[in-house]
Amino acid sequence: MKFYNREKEVRYLKTYCQLEPNSILFVYGPKSSGKSTVIRKVIKELEDSDIVFFYYNLRKYATPTKEEFFKIFFERSDKKYVPNKLEFNLGVFKFGVERELNFKEFSLNDVFAKINESINEVIKEGKRPVLIIDELQKLKNIYFNGEKSLLNELFNLFVSLTKMEHLSHVICLTSDTLFIEEIYNNSTLKNASEYYLIDWLEKEDIKKILKEENFSEEEIDYAINYLSLPYEITELINNKKLGLTVEETIKRWINIEKNGIKYLIDSVDLDEEKLYKVLSKFKDKIKISYNKEVKKEEMKYIKFLIENEILFYDVINGIIKPTSIIEWHAIRELI
């Protein structure tokens, strides 16, 4: 997919990677807002620098078990870090281990020791390590010895690598905003983490892109009221080539999303009237304030809609809104 107008985000993250590590960075935003695309662009633009990227895209895997975690993060090698073969066109690395891992004997301390060895090897070679984990929350349900949460322990390691020892940047990407809420309220991470939002595209940027793609003024004026995500622009361009008008494409998207929301509500064991009441908050406005416009008894319905990616909760700014403008129009038609 073509890379669209994220210069500001790329510039921020490139600069961040070249500063001294001092905190964990959580990059968050609505689904399909371009977080992974942006970070991959950053990696490509810094491939000739002295930075060594350890990059793990967990969206490529089913939710991993403990054993699968080892296979994802470690590669057998006599070197401390080796090319990540699943990302061969990106020039990124994974942690190397000198022997086959015995999962039953390998402890969390062993895991952290191997990660530290790889990080320190990069530094020893005069380079700078950056660890990036895409969709980190997929590690939430992995436990060692039946009780130790892998993710919680990893956060302790990340704080050590960044804030305490300044050895490596740690960047975590997620669209799971309930996960971000957990992190934001985690006392361990309170003064050891930063947050960066990759949100919808700006209208002026969308206009510029569509003009460059030879859309007419009439098409642009119509589309600008509905588009917000990079992939929508690509789909709109492709559908136009396939003979669909801009209006036909957008109406089809709204109809699909509307039917999807209705099916979701019809199939869940929650009070239907209260779910629609929550959605009705978006009848005349595209975003609401969590602190001012959400009652305590509505939270379980809000959370349900967030978990199913109908709504997006920006915990840092206290805003709740649909995951896209298309989703907003679908909600309005439904109610």
pLDDT (0 to 100) of residue 100 = 66
Residues 58-71: what's their mean pLDDT? 84
- Residue 275: which of 318, 335, 219 has the closest Cα? 335
Strand duo 319-322 + 288-289: pairing = antiparallel
Q: pLDDT higher for 107 or 160?
A: 160
Structure-token pair, residue 216: 């007419």
pLDDT (0 to 100) of residue 144 = 80
Reply yes or no on whether the pLDDT at 63 is more than 70. Answer: yes
**Does 1.10.10.10 match the CATH number of domain 203-334?**
yes
Confidence of residue 4 (pLDDT cuts 50, 70, 90): low
Multiple choice CATH, 7-197, 3.40.50.150, 3.40.50.300, 2.40.160.20, 3.90.1640.10: 3.40.50.300
pTM across the whole model: 0.93
pLDDT (0 to 100) of residue 104 = 64
CA 61 remoteness from chain centre:
15
Would you tell me how many other CB atoms lie within 10 Å of the CB of residue 303? Answer: 14
- Measured distance CA(23)–CA(125) in Å, rounded: 23
Residues 314-330: what's their mean pLDDT? 97
Quickly list H helices, 267-324.
272-279, 290-293, 299-307
Q: Under a CB-based contact definition with an 8 Å cutoff, are residues 253 and 325 in contact?
A: no
Reply yes or no on whether the pLDDT at 262 is more than 90. Answer: yes
Confidence of residue 2 (pLDDT cuts 50, 70, 90): low
Residues 149, 150, 155, 159: what is their CA dihedral angle, to the nearest 10 degrees?
120
Q: Average the pLDDT over each of 100-104, 180-184, 217-221 and give the range with the smallest value.
A: 100-104
Report domain extents, the chain: 7-197, 203-334
What would the pLDDT profile of 264-295 be if each residue is shown by its tens digit?
Answer: 999 999 999 999 999 999 999 999 999 999 99
pLDDT (0 to 100) of residue 64 = 81
Residues 208-235: what's their mean pLDDT? 96
Residues 75-100: what's their mean pLDDT? 89
